[in-house]
Structure 1
Amino acid sequence: MTLSRDQIAARLAEAGYIADGELATAVSLMQLLKRPLLLEGEAGVGKTEVAKALASVHSTELIRLQCYEGLDQAAALYEWNYQRQLLAIEAHKVEAGGVRMADIEDQIFSEKYLLERPLLAAIRRERPPVLLIDEVDRADEEFEAFLLELLSDWQVSIPELGTITAVSIPHVVLTSNGTRELSDALRRRCLYHYVDYPDVDREARIITAHLPAAGASLSLQIARMVEKIRKEELRKVPGVAETLDWAAALVGLDVRDLREAPEAVHETLMCLLKTREDKARFKPEVTQRLLGRVA
């Protein structure tokens, strides 16, 4: 059964992810059309969390493939357990000196010695999992081409075992931070949504959802302050995860109103500012100036 946009938004909220209307629509269409969903945006805006929440919505397993430069098929698809294979060969030599090599090969290149990696595991599950292909832009173009073939045919070829066809089609979420341009072929294969930093109201709801102790008033103040900070000339703009860390710190210090605790606000900005340059830029007077704009 395909869930509507409003149902998806409600289910994601129950899982702790506050989605806007466009993202909820994208996820709903992803289910309807059974297409991968490509989420692009700056680091820290919550792209990975979409997949985690989606796994909770469907009460299914989350299988994650973390991409990196030099990622190859062996790390993403499957490998043979070489150590166990060598031990098995030695055991055969001891137990049956006249055994044929072909018989040994048939045994050691079997399911027993196959190590599933994320992509193979995802297509062999009885219940469709959520397959998160995280930071696909960090992998090289050759791996992207291989990935495209898998997402198109939902089958893989293992020379020793033959063609393995998907038992079920996983819910696929790909994320990209835009470190390199993805191919047109991959983009055509996927539905697309750009995940931006949340607006003030939605970020306040995110804080409240994760930290009920913050309360509506403080959550709104924090969201407004973070919005002001993001507009400053920063080397690394704080994401939602940093906002939640900061909110947790303020709640832990029993801050109830940012304007009444300027010292605590300034001292805890280390939760948001993650480079030496950004910390140096934020003098106490800068913090005070921004606090003056938080109604």
Structure 2
Amino acid sequence: MTEPTATPFAEYTEADLRRVFDRTGYVAEDDILIPVLLALRLGKPLLIEGEPGSGKTELGKVLADGLETDLVRLQCYEGLAAENTLYEWNYTKQLLSVQAGERGVTDDGSVFDEEYLLERPLLRALSGDRDRPAVLLIDEVDRADREFEALLLEFLSDFQVSVPELGTIEASVPPIVLLTSNRTRGLSDALKRRCLYLHVEPPSFEKEREIVQRKVPELDGATAAEICGVVQRLREEPLLKRPGIAETLDWSRALLELRSASEDGNSESAASLSPPLIDRTLSCLLKEVEDASRIDDELLETLARAARDARERTEAQ
């Protein structure tokens, strides 16, 4: 197995990466920053696992944006085939060219050249004239079959794709590779060995509040604290699907919309998270009917109390 000979980020520092995250509004502590930094410096793929909605996909988008490079995303699913990930020929265009007498299949004007090649994500991440490597985001790799894992291992070993009609297409600069997994199935040991590893933990109250304030700056700090207090307490319940950061942000924006509607005289105020308001908006946080059915008056009062406590702690700081 050959390793990339060089990486443009071999001299990258923690301060450099922090500036990237700060510029894009991404809240990252050392548990995230250090694995990402090592992946950049070593030119190694980074396998990111965690609960759905924990910000795994967002990390790939942030890196591409902050490093000012292309984001190439491959969304995995069961039955994902090689032609959907590497390349395929534009057969319709080839046929039309042959019928029109513009190209043939054996002469110098063959229809088997790059003009007729449809690049899929893995090939697209290698090709092109880039000063900086693309960010290749292989999303939810656990949803794909093990056959795709075998193809992926070969790709990650050499960062090249063989097209029989054209030869080998090799990356001049290997891409930054991020793989995300929701752990719906176990990944092979071979793939894990090829990657560095990052497990995204549920955020602390302080980190989640900072994320909400960065992503939904229209909310005041006390309301952001209430929201995070409720979500943190809700995660303590034995739910089938605990709300992630994505759900927290959805709820924050929904409450902001309610506040805006209230100012127009059309709805209630979202200024204080009362039990009725929490009950009416929990669909932003809970996505399983079994979880929604667990919510009773006692738990609603507990959640409202958690909101008040969070507000008081924040205001006392």
TM-score, structure 2 normalization: 0.86
Aligned-pair CA distance for 1:101: 5.3
Q: 2:117 aligns with which of 100, 114, 118?
A: 114
Q: Is the 8 A contact 1:65 1:76 kept in 2?
A: yes
Tell me the amino acid that sits aligned with residue 134 of structure 1.
D
Partner of 2:44: 35
- CA deviations on 1:18-56 (whole Å, 9 max, x unpaired) are 112111011111111011111011111110000000011
**Residues 1:129 and 2:134 aligned together:** yes
Q: In the alignment, is residue 48 of structure 1 matched against residue 57 of structure 2? A: yes
**Matches for 1:149-160 after TM superposition, within 5 Å:** 149-160=154-165
- Residue 13 of structure 1 is matched in structure 2 by 22
- In 1: Cα distance, 2:97 partner to 2:112 partner: 11
Rounded to whole Å, the distance in 1 between the matches of 2:199 and 2:79 is: 26
User: Partners of 1:13 and 1:214 in 2: how far apart?
Assistant: 20
Which of 262, 266, 289 is matched with 2:279 structurally? 266
CA RMSD of aligned residues (A): 1.7
Q: How does 1:178-257 map to 2 (within 5 A)?
A: 178-254=183-259, 255-257=270-272
- CA gap of 1:14–1:101, structure 2 versus 1, over 3 A, is closer
**Secondary structure of the structure 2 residue equivalent to 1:173:** strand
Partner SS state of residue 70, structure 1: coil
Residue 4 (structure 1) shift: 2.3
Cα distance, 1:152 vs. partner? 1.1
Q: Provide the C-alpha distance between the structure 2 equivalents of 1:177 and 1:72, rounded to a whole number of angstroms.
A: 20
Q: Do structure 1's residue 292 and structure 2's residue 300 form an aligned pair?
A: no
User: Conserved in 2, the CA contact under 8 Å of 1:218 and 1:257?
Assistant: yes
The residue type equivalent to 2:299 in the other structure is V
1:275 corresponds, among 281, 288, 291, to: 288
Deviation at 1:198, TM superposition (A): 0.8
- Counterparts of 1:138 and 1:16, CA distance in 2: 29
Say whether the 8 Å CA contact 1:9–1:21 is kept in structure 2. no
Residue of structure 2 equivalent to 1:102:
106
Structure 1 vs Structure 2: percent identity of aligned residues? 48
Q: For 2:139 and 2:204, how far apart are their aligned partners in 1?
A: 24
**How far apart, CA to CA, are the structure 1 residues paired with 2:146 and 2:159?**
19
What are the within-5 Å matches in structure 2 for residues 165-180 of structure 1?
165-180=170-185
- Using a 3 Å threshold, how does the CA distance of structure 1 residues 100 and 141 change in structure 2: closer, same or farther? closer
Q: Match of 1:44, as an amino acid? A: G
Q: Which amino acid aligns with 1:244?
A: L
Name the CA shift for 1:72/1:5 in 2 (closer, same or farther; >3 Å): same
Structure 2 CA distance for aligned equivalents of residues 71 and 78 of structure 1: 13
**3-state SS in 2 of match to 1:39:** strand
Alignment CA distance shift 1:73-1:54 (3 Å): same
Native 8 Å contact 1:38 1:173 kept in 2: yes
Aligned partner of 2:119: which letter? E
64 and 101 in structure 1: CA distance in 2 versus 1, 3 angstrom threshold: closer
